[in-house]
C-alpha cells in the first residue's frame, strides 16, 4: 500500500474556495494511493484564539491548548465533507481520535506514539484520512498542542509512522528560497536541499518549516517536499545528503531579528566562571546561542557576550541579577536591536574561503560583526539590526545565489 | 454533596467581559456546593460555522457535527482558566471527555448515558466542572450534537444524572414572559410555571428553552430556573404542577411564524385516505401539526388542510406529488404566510370558556381562523401571518396577563 502524506497550512485552507482547491489536489494525488491529509486551522483563526488567551492573561496551559486546537475541527470537517460529495471515502479525525499520543507538556508537547495499526484499520474503510494538525492527547486524557507551526510535525510524524512514500508540505510559497524574497528580489527557489541545510536554515530564521518536523524527517529518512498549493510547479525537495548530486557551497542566506544580546562586564578571570554563568541559564531553560569571551587587558577581569531569543531576555536578565553576588560582575547590558545573519550550505564542509568572503562582504559595507558562531555547514554573524537588509542582499549577491 | 447545575447561553459568554461576569456568578454560587457549569459557544460563532456548512451544501452529518461543536472549546477553556486564576479548582471538559454518550443520530442526537460515578470522580479533585454544552460522543467514537439549543438539554441531563439541587438556565432575558416582549410591551415575567405549560409554550413558539430539556426535567422532577445573567433578580421557576399553589387559567400567549399550510383538494371521500396521506408523510419524517378535514357538499370528494414546519414544506410537497396517482387528488396548494397563535395555561383543565374568549377576541379583530388544535392545557389557532401582532396583543389583553 502506497501512502502519501499531504499537509496544508492555514493560508491554503483560509476559505471555502481554498478548501475546494485542496480537495482538487487531494483528488489528483489519490490514484491508487492511500492519503493522509493534515490541515491547520483557517489562517487568522489561531491568532484570534491566542488573542482571547492573551486578553485573560491565561497561563493555564491545559485550557490554552483546548482553546488553541479548536480551529482544526472546522477545516477537517469541511474538507472531508467536500471529498465525500465527490464520492471519495474520507473521514475527519481529531488528534485524540486517531490517537496521536503526546507527552504531558502542554503548548509544546512532543509526540510519543502513533499506532500504525490504527491507521491501517482506518485505511480498510477509507482512502483519505483528514487529520487535525498541531494537536494530540496525553495519557491523562487532556488535549495537547505541539506549538505554533506544529502541523508540519504532525504530518512528518504520520509519514514516519506509516513509512510514507513522500510527505508534501503545501504552503503559500513555491518552496524554500535562497533568501527571503521580501528582502532579496532575486532570491530563487531551491530545487533540492539536504536535511542538514534545511535544519540550519529553519533554526537561523527561515520560517518555511517547523524545525522539529525537519529533525524528525531526517531521523526517519523521509522525502519531504515544500510546494505551493496554488501553482502547479514542483517545489523544494528536502532529502538525504547522499542523494544530493551537486552540493552547493552556499544554498541560502537566512536572518533572524529574534535575538537579544547580553554583555556581562568585569567578571573575575578565573576557571569555572563561564560554567557557572551558563549553568545557571541552562537550569532556567534559557537557550543561549552565540558566545564571545574577551579577556581584558589587565588580565584580571573578562567580558562575556552571548545571545538569547527575545522571548527569554527578561528571564535571563532576572536569573543573572539574582546571582550577582555569586558571579561578582561589574555590569550587565542588554541589546535587542541585533540581527543574526547566516549562510548555509553542504559544500562548505569541503570548501575553504566561505567565511572569509562573508566577513569581507560585510566589511565592504562597513557592517561591524558583534559575534560569530559556526557549524560544519553554517556561519552565523551577529550585527546591528539596522544593517539586516544590506547584509542579506550583499551576501546573496556575493555567493552568486541568483544564478 | 450539594450539586447545582448552571447553564449559560451564547449571549452570556459572547466576549471576555461577559465570561468574567459568568465567573462572578459561579464564584458566588460556589459556597460549599459542587458546580457543573454548562456553556454554549460565543454568540454568533455557531451561526458562522453553520454558514460554512451551508456554503458547501454539506449533508455529511458526522462532519457537520464536528464543525458545529468546535465553538465550545473556546468558552469552556476561557472560563476554566479565569476560575483557576481565582484559585477555584476547575476543569474544562468536552462531551467526549466526561463522556456524554449519545445515540448515533448526528445533528439531533439523544443522550443515552452519563456516568454519575465519573462525575463524582472529577468532584474528588475539582469543585467546578466546566462542560461543553450541545455535544456528545456516540459508541463509534464520533462527536455528535444535540441540535440547536441543545445546551439546555446537556444541563438538564447532567442535573438529572447527579440529582442536582437545582438547574439554573442563565440567558439574556429575565425569565419566561407571558408573551414576546418585542410584540407585547406589557408582557410580564412569570414567577412560576408548570413543566407542562413550559412544554406547550416551547413547542408553540416561545424560544426560551429547548423543548427536550423541559421534557427531561419533567421526567426527572428537577427544579428548573430561567434567569438573566445580567440582572441579579430571581427568574422563572419551572416546577412540578403539584407545587403550583395558584394555577393560572392562561399563563402565556405564544406564536410561531415557522408554519406552512398545505391544502389538498378533491380527494375521494372514502375510508383510509387520511391514513394513506399521513402515513406517507410520517414515513418521510414530516411533523404534521394541525389538521382540518372538510367533506365537500357533493359528498364525493373532500379537502384536507394541515400544517408542517417551514423547513419541511418542500419535502412534504415532493412526497405528495410523487404519490399523486395513488391518492388521486385534484390540487395541492401551499401557503407559508400563516402563523400559529397559542394560549397556554394549567387552569384551562378545570375552567371552561377559554376557547370561546379566544375565538371571540379574534373575531372582534376580524381575524379569520384557518385551523384549530387543542390539548388539555393549550389552544392553538392558525391565522394569516399578517395578523400575528394584533392577535397576540389582543389575546394578551383579553386574558388580563399584564396584571
ipTM for this model: 0.85
Residues B162 and B61 in one domain: yes
List the CATH number of the domain containing B356.
Answer: 3.30.2130.10
**What burial letters (b/e) apply to A146-172, b meaning 16+ CB within 10 Å?**
bbebbbbbbbbbbbbbbebebbbbbbe
Residue A38, pLDDT above cutoff 90: yes
Q: Compute the average pLDDT of residues A85-113.
A: 96
Average pLDDT along chain A: 93
Kindly state whether residue A48 falls inside one of the protein's structural domains: yes
Same structural domain for residues A137 and A59?
yes
Residues of A in contact with B91 (CB under 8 A): 62
Contact call for B56 and A16, based on CB within 8 A: yes
Number of domains chain B is built from: 2
- Say what the pLDDT of residue A353 is: 87
Give domain status of residue B221, yes or no.
no
| Whether residue B25 sits in one domain with residue B106 | yes
CB-CB under 8 Å, A49 with B74: yes
Would you give the distance in Å from CA B151 to the centre of its chain? 11
Q: Which residues of B touch A64 (CB under 8 A)?
A: 77, 81
- Note whether residue B236 is domain-resident: no
Q: Identify the pLDDT of residue A270.
A: 77
| Same domain membership, residue A350 and residue A272 | yes
Q: What is the structure's pLDDT at B327?
A: 81
Q: Same structural domain for residues B137 and B30?
A: yes
User: Would you list which residues of chain B are within 8 Å, Cβ to Cβ, of chain A?
Assistant: 16, 19-20, 49, 52-53, 55-58, 60, 62-64, 66-67, 69-71, 73-74, 76-78, 80-82, 84-85, 91-92, 94, 96-97, 141
**In whole angstroms, what is the distance from residue B70 CA to residue A71 CA?**
7
Q: What pLDDT tens digit does each residue of chain B (403 aa) get?
A: 899 999 999 999 999 999 999 999 999 999 989 999 999 999 999 999 999 999 999 999 999 999 999 999 999 999 999 999 999 999 999 999 999 999 999 998 999 999 999 999 999 999 999 999 999 999 999 999 998 889 999 999 999 999 999 999 999 889 999 999 999 999 999 999 999 999 999 888 777 888 899 999 999 999 999 999 998 799 999 999 888 887 888 999 999 999 999 999 888 877 788 888 999 999 888 889 898 888 776 767 888 999 999 989 999 999 999 887 788 888 899 999 999 999 999 988 888 889 999 999 999 999 999 999 888 899 999 999 999 999 999 999 999 998 7
pTM summary value: 0.87
Residue A236 lies in a domain: no
Decide if B84 and A63 are in contact by the 8 Å CB cutoff.
yes
Residues of A with CB under 8 A from a CB of B: 16, 19-20, 49, 52-53, 55-58, 60, 62-64, 66-67, 69-71, 73-74, 76-78, 80-82, 84-85, 91-92, 94, 96-97, 141
Q: Which domain holds residue B380?
A: 242-403
In this complex, do B67 and A49 lie within 8 Å of one another by their Cβ atoms? no
Mean pLDDT of A310-326: 89
Q: Which of B57, B63, B78 sits opposite A77 (nearest CB)?
A: B63
A52-84 pLDDT, tens per residue? 999 999 999 999 999 999 999 999 999 999 999
Say if the Cβ atoms of B56 and A80 lie within 8 Å.
no
- B66 to A76: CB separation less than 8 angstroms, yes or no: yes
Q: What distance in Å separates residue A77's CA from the closest CA in chain B?
A: 5
- CB-based contact A60 B71, cutoff 8 Å: no
pLDDT score for B91 = 98
Q: Buried b vs exposed e over A130-144: b needs ≥16 C-beta within 10 Å? A: bbbbbbbbbeeebbb
**Shared domain check, B246 and B165:** no
Same domain (yes/no): A166, A254: no
- What percentage of chain A has pLDDT greater than the value 90? 75
Least CA distance to A92: which residue of chain B? B63
Nearest-neighbour CA in chain A from B133: distance (Å): 15
**Statement to judge: residues B256 and B140 lie in one domain:** no
Domain end call among A128, A145, A172? A172
Query: Is A206 inside a domain boundary?
Result: no
**Contacts for A125-128 with beta carbons within 8 Å, 24 or more apart?**
A125/A89, A125/A91, A126/A89, A126/A90, A126/A91, A127/A30, A127/A34, A127/A35, A127/A88, A127/A89, A127/A90, A128/A26, A128/A30, A128/A34, A128/A35, A128/A36, A128/A37, A128/A80, A128/A83, A128/A88, A128/A89, A128/A90, A128/A91
pLDDT exceeds cutoff 90 at A184: yes
Same domain, B149 and B248: no
Contact A81 B96 (CB under 8 A): no
Are A250 and A391 in a shared domain?
A: yes
Helix (H, G, I), strand (E, B) or coil at A305: strand
Contact A63 B69 (CB under 8 A): no
Residue B211 lies in a domain: no
**pLDDT surpassing 80 at residue A271:** no
Phi (first) and psi of residue A192, to 5 degrees: -135, 145
With CB atoms and an 8 Å threshold, state whether B92 touches A16.
no
Residues B274 and B402 in one domain: yes
pLDDT exceeds 90 at position A299: no
**pLDDT, position B379:** 94
Residue B190 is assigned to a structural domain of this protein:
no
CATH number at residue B154: 3.40.1160.10
Domain end among A151, A172, A193: A172
CA closest to B69 among chain A residues: A73
Write out pLDDT tens, residues A375-397: 889 999 999 999 999 999 999 99
Are residues A254 and A389 part of one domain?
A: yes
Residues of chain A contacting residue B20, judged by C-beta atoms under 8 Å apart: 56
Domain presence at residue B234: no
pLDDT, residue B247, reads 80
pLDDT at B183: 92
Interchain proximity B81–A74, CB inside 8 Å: no
Q: Which of A141, A172, A203 is the last residue of a domain?
A: A172
Amino acid at each position: 500500500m502506497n501512502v502519501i502524506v499531504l499537509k496544508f497550512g492555514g493560508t491554503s485552507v483560509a476559505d471555502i474556495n481554498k478548501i475546494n482547491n485542496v480537495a482538487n489536489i487531494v483528488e489528483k494525488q489519490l490514484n491508487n494511493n492511500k492519503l493522509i491529509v493534515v490541515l491547520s486551522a483557517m489562517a487568522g483563526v489561531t491568532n484570534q484564539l491566542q488573542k482571547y488567551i492573551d486578553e485573560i492573561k491565561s497561563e493555564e496551559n491545559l485550557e490554552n491548548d483546548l482553546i488553541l486546537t479548536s480551529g482544526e475541527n472546522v477545516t477537517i470537517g469541511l474538507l472531508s465533507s467536500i471529498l465525500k460529495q465527490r464520492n471519495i471515502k474520507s473521514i475527519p479525525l481529531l488528534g485524540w481520535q486517531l490517537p496521536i499520543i503526546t507527552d504531558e507538556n502542554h503548548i509544546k508537547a512532543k509526540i510519543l506514539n502513533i499506532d500504525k495499526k490504527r491507521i491501517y484499520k482506518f485505511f480498510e474503510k477509507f482512502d483519505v484520512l483528514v487529520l487535525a494538525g498541531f494537536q494530540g492527547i496525553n495519557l491523562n486524557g487532556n488535549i495537547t498542542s505541539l506549538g505554533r507551526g506544529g502541523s508540519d510535525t504532525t504530518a512528518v510524524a504520520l509519514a514516519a509512522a506509516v513509512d510514507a512514500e513522500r510527505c508534501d508540505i503545501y504552503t503559500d510559497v513555491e518552496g524554500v528560497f535562497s533568501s527571503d524574497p521580501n528582502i532579496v528580489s532575486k532570491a530563487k527557489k531551491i530545487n533540492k536541499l539536504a536535511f542538514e541545510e534545511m535544519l540550519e536554515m529553519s533554526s537561523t530564521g527561515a520560517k518555511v518549516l517547523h524545525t522539529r518536523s525537519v529533525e524528525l524527517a531526517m531521523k526517519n529518512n523521509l522525502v519531504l517536499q515544500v510546494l505551493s498549493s496554488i501553482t502547479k510547479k514542483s517545489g523544494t525537495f528536502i532529502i538525504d545528503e547522499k542523494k544530493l548530486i551537486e552540493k552547493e557551497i552556499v544554498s541560502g542566506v537566512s536572518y533572524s531579528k529574534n535575538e537579544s544580546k547580553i554583555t556581562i562586564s568585569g567578571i573575575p578571570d578565573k576557571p569555572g566562571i563561564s560554567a557557572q554563568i551558563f549553568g545557571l541559564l541552562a537550569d532556567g531553560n534559557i537557550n543561549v546561542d552565540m558566545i564571545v569571551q574577551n579577556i581584558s587587558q589587565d588580565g584580571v577581569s573578562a567580558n562575556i557576550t552571548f545571545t538569547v531569543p527575545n522571548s527569554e531576555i527578561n528571564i535571563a536578565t532576572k536569573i543573572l541579577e539574582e546571582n550577582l553576588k555569586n558571579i561578582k560582575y561589574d555590569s550587565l547590558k542588554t541589546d535587542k536591536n541585533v540581527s543574526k545573519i547566516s549562510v548555509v550550505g553542504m559544500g562548505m564542509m569541503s570548501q575553504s574561503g566561505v567565511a572569509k568572503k562573508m566577513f569581507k562582504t560585510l566589511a565592504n559595507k562597513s557592517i561591524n560583526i558583534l559575534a560569530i558562531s559556526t557549524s560544519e555547514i553554517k556561519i552565523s554573524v551577529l550585527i546591528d539590526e539596522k544593517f539586516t537588509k544590506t547584509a542579506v542582499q550583499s551576501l546573496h549577491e556575493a555567493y552568486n545565489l541568483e544564478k
